[in-house]
A and B are shown apart, each in its own frame.
Chain A
Amino acid sequence: MSWNSWTEFFHMGGYAFYVWGSYAVTAVLIAGEILLLRTHRRKALELVRRTVKYGKVGNNEETA
């Protein structure tokens, strides 16, 4: 263990901006992607619901 206190931990030996800047942006991007994936799924389900209800919407691949 390299730390004697939480203050020291957050200070990161003076590199706090670089270390936490890396980890924070990565965390935000991953959280953002998960949110986008949920939105994508919701929209896809909505599109399917409309298609099932009103018939073909837009062009689409022909499937057996």
Chain B
Amino acid sequence: MGGIGGIADFDRMMNGFNWYKYASPATFYTLAGRLIPWFYGAAAVLCAAGLYIAFFLAPTDFQQSEAYRIIFIHVPAAWMSMFIYIVMAAWAAIGLAFNTRLSFMMASALAPTGAMLTFVSLWTGALWGKPTWGAWWVWDARLTSELILFFLYLGFMALQAAIDDPRRADRAGALIALVGVVNVPIIYFSVKWWNTLHQGASISMTKAPSMAAIMLEGMLVMALAAWMYAIAAALSRVRSIILERERNSQWVAQMMEAEA
């Protein structure tokens, strides 16, 4: 246990582990297939726990009564909408830099889930805005930049769908993803940079959270659930994309024969 032997083992493991192996679509296809049920399972458990906190442990808000309970999906969805875009842009950048097929496929696999969660954040925002601000929608910086994020996701998907040659579609999509990534800090800091109707950050690095601990916990558990779900969905989608794009390769044919 541990000691010098442990370090030597660790060293051997790090050197012996073939990092490039998992960059191959064939290996990744199998690995993703094994991981997906675990991520779906974790998402379901965390979602159940999060909803329990959201509806049965979190108290009624003294200002907003029960309307504030929208926060438990609104904030996690909004966080994920931005985070997924950054991950998508990172995969696109890796794809452009190293010309790795799988990186581009990961970028494509993330876009629909990101778009869906962006829509959720806009939708729940509208349903929260109406009773608290008196308006479904206002053109303030936070809402407008989040709407632009939604269009960036849709633009990425439409562009990729419009180009037949997958390699050209990858590159064109990567360009949108990378140019659009400047929008993410704009969304995040919009409530600081401009005088927005939207409230400031619920959680920040520099000061204590502006909400009750149990509300914060519910939000974090729901955010983790959204995270697990997004990983499961993206892995599931990338497996289909791998099959579509590698359908003429040897390993796909062999796998189909093995299953038949």
Q: Are A25 and B123 in contact, with the CB atoms below 8 A?
A: yes
Output the nearest chain B residue to A58 by Cβ-Cβ distance. B164
- Are A12 and B66 also in contact (CB < 8 A) when A22-B73, A22-B123, A26-B73 are? yes
Q: Are B65 and A14 in contact, with the CB atoms below 8 A?
A: yes
B247 contacts which of A40, A47, A64 (Cβ < 8 Å)?
Answer: A47
How far, in angstroms, from A51 to B70 measured CA to CA in the complex? 47
Output the nearest chain B residue to A42 by Cβ-Cβ distance. B240
Sort chain A's interface into a size bin.
35 or more
Q: Are B130 and A22 in contact, with the CB atoms below 8 A?
A: no
Sort chain B's interface into a size bin.
35 or more
Within 8 A of B (CB), among A1-17: 1-3, 9, 12-15, 17
Q: Are B59 and A2 in contact, with the CB atoms below 8 A?
A: yes
Contacts of A62 in B (CB 8 A): 248
Q: Which of B87-95, B111-119, B145-153, B172-180 contacts A (4 or more CB under 8 A)?
A: B111-119
- Are A30 and B119 also in contact (CB < 8 A) when A13-B60, A37-B237, A44-B244 are? no
Contacts of A61 in B (CB 8 A): 101, 166-167, 245-246
How far, in angstroms, from A9 to B55 measured CA to CA in the complex? 9
Q: Which of B182-190, B202-210, B249-257 contacts A (4 or more CB under 8 A)?
A: B249-257
B128 contacts which of A22, A36, A44 (Cβ < 8 Å)?
Answer: A22
Interface of A is mostly: helix
Closest 3 CB pairs of A and B: A13-B66, A63-B249, A44-B240
A12-43 to B contact mask, C-beta < 8 Å, 1/0: 11110111011101100110011011001101
Q: Are B120 and A44 in contact, with the CB atoms below 8 A?
A: no
- Are A60 and B247 also in contact (CB < 8 A) when A13-B67, A33-B112 are? yes
A5 CB, nearest partner CB in chain B, Å: 13
Contacts of A25 in B (CB 8 A): 120, 123-124
Q: Are A18 and B245 in contact, with the CB atoms below 8 A?
A: no
A10 CB, nearest partner CB in chain B, Å: 11
Contacts of B233 in A (CB 8 A): 33-34, 37
Whether B229 is near chain A, meaning CB under 8 Å from some CB there, is: yes
Within 8 A of A (CB), among B210-260: 229, 233, 236-237, 239-241, 243-250, 252-253, 256-257
